[in-house]
Amino acid sequence: MSTAREPRGHGRKSRRGRPDQRHNAGPPRRRHGPARPPDVDPARQAAFELLTAVRERDAYANLALPAILRRYRLHDRDAALATELGYGTLRTQGLLDAIIEACTDRPMSHVEAPLLDALRLGAYQLLRTRIPPHAAVDTTVDLVRGRAGSRSAGFVNAILRRISQRDEAAWAAELAPPAEEDAVGHTAFRHAHPRWIAQAFLDALGPAGRAELDAALAADDARPVVHLLARPGEITAEELALACGGDPAPYSPYGVHLEPGTGEIGELDAVAEGLAIVQDEGSQLVALGLARAELDGPDEGRWLDLCAGPGGKAALLGGLVGLDGGTLDAVEQSEHRAQLVRRAVDGLPVTVHVADGRAAPLPDGAYDRVLVDAPCTGLGALRRRPEARWRRRPEDVPGLARLQRELLAAALRHVRPGGVVGYVTCSPHLSETVGVVTGALRRRDDVEQLDARDVLPGVPGLGPGPSVQLWPHRHGTDAMFLALLRRSR
Ligand SMILES: C[S@@+](CC[C@H](N)C(=O)[O-])C[C@H]1O[C@@H](n2cnc3c(N)ncnc32)[C@H](O)[C@@H]1O
């Protein structure tokens, strides 16, 4: 459960006394009466606006939120509350919808979208935060009354009151598929994941999967710790941890884990000065894995990143290759994202190319190390992309797998004999990981797969190899996948 509480002075109804003095226990009650002006704190309005942006504009929550927080002038606790409510509601959407559906007589398709957003926001507060139920209901009802009138407010009030009569575990016990009939569906429901994603995790976890699925989904459902990358040659992880009040990461020598509630990351001096960037430790490890892989022949310092946007791994690889006087070519198909790469690698020996990585105007057989951080479903980074788990569809996988195969084939063209390709996804889905690598190995008899566990010494639980799958519940990282393929000389 979240520790989200009321920000000081918000969510209170001073004209009617404090809500927690009006109702001591039991389901919250609403007074009926004429509509009155909205009396909703800006944090909830901001969270509601985030839900609207994601629904109407297909916005990415993490990209849309900063502008919304600025518009509502939210900082510190208020910004934290808006983030928690917005992200939490998006993350939990399918679970909330099942519970809302059980509490309404109307088919869900007949509930207007803004009302559904408000219901989700209210239900999230009731089920997954410590916000007092009356505050959760009253503020949501006020939000709806201010925007849609009293009838809609009454409808929302009635449903939220029903939801508030049980906690999340009790609703799950009633609504989840029975474990004995559908163990995967049951676990998926309890941790607010679509069933097909739970199944994909189970498939990738291998023989240990049954015992681990619960922990894997629970970790994926938790609010993630923010990780920083200490840019090589600029600042050490120890210095960065001291400067930011975090801890050096357990596995990446360049990583720092920030304390929860660190606040605006962009305002940390080290980040503002460009000494550090936000990057999951798993992303650091897979990029480092490629940098450490054993080549056949000397490393001349000619490296390539074939899918570089927005530039996190290009910043790490560019920093590393630059320490030894080498260079990195960074390819990105989208001009907008290429611009983000330019910003991320400013000052590094990196050349950014806007091109399709499958046909980039770069030499074949020329690079010592090539990274393919392929576009993927992102199922391994769902905890950092709140809306993604309900937006992604299983039908997305085959098209992405085709693109991934083509990008890997291009990488194997660009790498020199004796050089290494690192194939990376932030998805553990077997069709995007092992399936793509196995296909490439089948098609090429001049490529051998290296054991990627060898380049991550000290990292436990990497599985049977030769590829590596990281997991939030085992490593505290995103579920990154790494395979290392070396071209023979
Ligand atoms: C998983 S992201 C890469 C993340 C990046 N390596 C980082 O660490 O910041 C995949 C990127 O590939 C880009 N992309 C998609 N199709 C591509 C293609 N055909 N050629 C090159 N880049 C492509 C996407 O725009 C996206 O920026």
304, 398: one domain: yes
One domain, residues 190 and 48: no
Does residue 13 have a known ligand-binding role? Answer: no
- On whether residue 68 sits in a domain, the answer given is yes
Same-domain check for residues 330 and 449:
yes
With respect to residue 148, please indicate whether it lies within any of the assigned structural domains.
Answer: yes
> What is the whole-number distance in angstroms between the Cα of residue 58 and the centre of ligand 1?
19
Residue 1 domain-assigned (yes or no): no
- Residues 232 and 203 grouped into a single domain: no
Annotated active-site positions, please? 426
Same structural domain, 300 and 361: yes
Chain segment 133-179, per-residue pLDDT in tens: 999 999 999 999 988 899 999 999 999 999 999 999 999 999 999 99
* 266 part of a folded domain: yes
Q: 473 and 381 in one domain? A: yes
Verify that 409 and 315 share a domain, yes or no.
yes
Number of H helices and E strands in the chain, helices first, is 21, 12
- Give pTM, 2 decimals: 0.91
Domain that holds residue 371: 281-487
Domain count, the chain: 4
Q: What angle do CA 191, 194, 198 make, to 5 degrees?
A: 70
CB 318 near ligand 1, within 6 Å: no
Ligand 1 contact, 331 CB (< 6 A): yes
Q: Are residues 21 and 135 in the same domain?
A: yes
Any domain includes 2: no
CATH number for 75:
1.10.940.10
How far, in Å, CA of 87 to CA of 384, rounded? 9
Least confident of 199-208, 353-362, 444-453: 199-208
Confirm or deny that 305 is annotated as ligand binding.
no
Burial class of residue 350, CB neighbours in 10 A (0-12, 13-18, 19+): buried
Per-residue CA distances from 161 to 94, 104, 167 (Å): 19, 11, 12
User: Is the CB of 378 inside a 6 Å radius of any atom of ligand 1?
Assistant: no
344 and 469 share a domain? yes
Q: Whole-angstrom Cα distance, residue 33 to residue 78? A: 30
Q: Is a pLDDT exceeding 60 seen at residue 329?
A: yes
Q: Name the residue at shortest CA distance from atom 19 of ligand 1.
A: 356
Q: Which residue CA neighbors atom 26 of ligand 1 most closely?
A: 309
The tens digit of pLDDT for each residue in 400-435 reads: 999 999 999 999 999 999 999 999 999 999 999 999
Same domain for 392 and 453, yes or no, is: yes
Q: Would residue 8 count as lying in a domain?
A: no
Give yes or no: residues 305 and 231 share one domain.
no
Instruction: Say yes or no to pLDDT of 37 above 70.
Output: no
Ligand 1 pocket residue status of 141, Cβ below 6 Å? no
From 168, 191, 211, give the residue that closes a domain: 168
Whole-angstrom distance, CA of residue 465 vs CA of residue 388: 28
Q: Does 336 contact ligand 1 (Cβ within 6 A)?
A: no
| CA 406 to ligand 1 centroid distance, Å | 13
The alpha carbon of 361 is separated from its chain's Cα centroid by a whole number of angstroms, namely 32
Pair 366, 443 in one domain: yes
Confirm or deny that 135 is annotated as ligand binding. no
439 has binding-site annotation: no
Q: Are 367 and 416 in contact (CB under 8 A)?
A: yes
